[in-house]
Amino acid sequence: MSFQRNLTIPHTPDHLLFLPMPGIIIRPRARILHGHDWVYSSEVLKIYGNPQDGEVISIKDGRDRMLGSAIYQSQSQIIARRFSYQRQELDRDFFMRRVQRAQEYRDRIGIDPLVRRVLWSESDGVPGLIIDRYNSVAVMQTLTLAMDQRRDLIAEVVKEVLGVETIIERNDSSSRKLEGLEMRTGVLLGETPKEQEVMIGGMIFLMDFLQGQKTGFYLDQVTSYRDLAPWAQGARVLDCFSNQGAFAIASARAGASEVIAVESGAENIPRLKAHAHANGVTIGVIGANVFDYLSQATRRGEKYDLIILDPPPFTRVKKGISDALRGYRELHFKAAQLLAPNGRLATFSCSHHISAAAFHHTATEAFHDARRSARQRHIFTQSPDHPIVLALPETEYLKGYLFEMFNSF
């Protein structure tokens, strides 16, 4: 397995622009012909030039027309991921332009420059590369072989463009296995950071960049914390799958009469309590399985004005869709039983393979089973530093709804 040629040079010399680039010829109905950037192995008509895994290749159609440059991985079901419509090397200049362009977009839409998703994979033209920033620390994941091979170069560019002091590698995601990559965590540049306080959405959180949540925090929900908070004013709130406690803290800060946070992960309980203390709010923290807790609360006859459901993905593969939908339906049914007459349910799914329509339908069915009538009051989506690209439906994964109960006519 070889590294990409000319990896460390700032520009591709003119005399190399005319060297033959290895590549693939795609079949007539491949989705890349309709704007998508992925090529599946079943869509390949021919491979030429003996490309190596992690290498940059060209994509051509059956008429020998160039469709762009892509990263190649023969061991993956997605054999090629396009990152440019032109002939392009993955060199220093390329990464410099990608990082700068991504920051210009986020600056333009008003994302906090010190706490943000810096790069998000295909949405920013860097397949498999994810970078979050928390003040002076950047946390990086390289989930494709091509990006992993170039992680040192990427770290140097990120440090130069962002001016951060430390770059952490959090390559402990199970998705790396799909590319045959090992798990790895550590410091790429700078000193090992101590635990730090980071202000996110007006709230204080304690960050352990090497041991905490993947790239540090669920930045995709930052706008949801803000949008849901006003609905918590004066309400008795139950925050399920609380994790770091962000929804619970946002609710308490907004003036909720009571907030109870339920979290099954024992390692998250001390941190959740510490976050509540750091923000000067009172939250009842309960370590329990959410499904069990909801059933027990129903038997006790409890009622809540606002219930928040933000579970981890119920499935990461297509074959798990049916089980995931049953899980969401059961969760919505249990929550519906606990809602006050005009109570509200905020429910989220970050399962990539679950469509918004299917997720919405599980709530409709669950409310019917629970003999509750509901109105839709708000739609949530991922924060704008996780851009949704229309031609790449996979870039839209987080969906959420706020439903309000009402008496049937």
pLDDT in tens, 250-301: 999 999 999 999 999 999 999 999 999 999 999 999 999 999 999 999 999 9
Read off the pLDDT band of 19 (50, 70, 90). Answer: low
Predicted confidence at residue 6, as pLDDT, reads: 39
How many structural domains comprise the chain?
3
- Residue 69's domain is classified under what CATH number? 2.30.130.10
Amino acid at 68: G
Task: Return the exposure string of 206-215: e unless at least 16 CB atoms fall within 10 Å of the residue's CB, then b.
Answer: ebebbebbeb
Q: Are residues 111 and 53 in the same domain?
A: no
Q: Which long-range contacts (CB under 8 A, 24 or more apart) does 18-22 make?
A: 20/49, 21/49, 21/56, 21/57, 21/58, 21/69, 21/87, 22/47, 22/48, 22/49, 22/50, 22/51, 22/55, 22/57, 22/58, 22/72
- Residue 166's domain is classified under what CATH number? 3.30.750.80
Residue 259 lies in a domain: yes
How far, CA to CA in Å, does 146 sit from each of 151, 155, 227, 282, 357? Answer: 9, 14, 38, 47, 35
Predicted confidence at residue 4, as pLDDT, reads: 38
Q: Are residues 18 and 74 in the same domain?
A: yes
Residue 96 lies in a domain: yes
Q: Are residues 246 and 379 in the same domain?
A: yes
Assess whether 350 carries a catalytic annotation: yes
Asked if 303 contacts 340 with a C-beta cutoff of 8 angstroms, the reply is: yes
pLDDT in tens, 74-126: 999 999 999 999 999 999 999 999 999 999 999 999 999 999 999 999 999 99
Q: What is the pTM of this model?
A: 0.91
Helix pair angle (290-299, 321-338), 10° resolution: 30
Q: Are residues 160 and 255 in the same domain?
A: no
Residue 208 lies in a domain: no
Q: Is the pLDDT of residue 333 over 90?
A: yes
Question: pLDDT > 70: what percent of the chain?
Answer: 95
pLDDT in tens, 160-217: 999 999 999 999 888 888 788 999 999 999 999 999 999 999 999 999 998 877 677 9
Q: Which residue has the tokens 């510490």?
A: 274
Residue 207 lies in a domain: no
Q: Are residues 231 and 360 in the same domain?
A: yes
Residue 213 lies in a domain: no
Element holding 198 (H helix, E strand): strand 196-200
Q: Are residues 191 and 236 in the same domain?
A: no
Q: Are residues 112 and 61 in the same domain?
A: no
As given in the structure block, the two tokens for residue 259 are 């907030």
Mean pLDDT of all residues belonging to the chain: 93
Predicted confidence at residue 175, as pLDDT, reads: 82
How do strand 339-349 and strand 304-309 relate by DSSP bridges?
A: parallel
Among 170, 198, 226, the domain boundary falls at 198
Give the pLDDT mean for 232-258: 97
- Residue 375's domain is classified under what CATH number? 3.40.50.150
Asked if 141 contacts 119 with a C-beta cutoff of 8 angstroms, the reply is: no
Q: Is the pLDDT of residue 376 over 90?
A: yes
Q: Which domain holds residue 143?
A: 92-198
How far, CA to CA in Å, does 190 sit from each of 11, 135, 154? Answer: 26, 14, 14
CB proximity list for 243: less than 8 A, separation 6 or greater: 213, 218, 263, 265, 268, 272, 310
Q: Are residues 332 and 250 in the same domain?
A: yes
Asked if 134 contacts 208 with a C-beta cutoff of 8 angstroms, the reply is: no
Q: Are residues 382 and 401 in the same domain?
A: yes
Q: Are residues 273 and 299 in the same domain?
A: yes
Residue 6 lies in a domain: no
Among 84, 105, 126, the domain boundary falls at 84
Question: pLDDT > 90: what percent of the chain?
Answer: 88
As given in the structure block, the two tokens for residue 149 are 């091979």
Read off the pLDDT band of 16 (50, 70, 90). Answer: very low
Collapse the DSSP code of 110 into the 3-class scheme (helix H, G, I; strand E, B; otherwise coil) and give the result.
coil
Catalytic residue, chosen from 102, 350, 354, 363, is 350
Q: Is the pLDDT of residue 397 over 50?
A: yes
Q: Are residues 266 and 321 in the same domain?
A: yes
Among 142, 166, 198, the domain boundary falls at 198
Residue 240 lies in a domain: yes
Q: Are residues 128 and 272 in the same domain?
A: no
Residue 176 lies in a domain: yes
pLDDT in tens, 131-152: 999 999 999 999 999 999 999 9
Read off the pLDDT band of 224 (50, 70, 90). Answer: very high
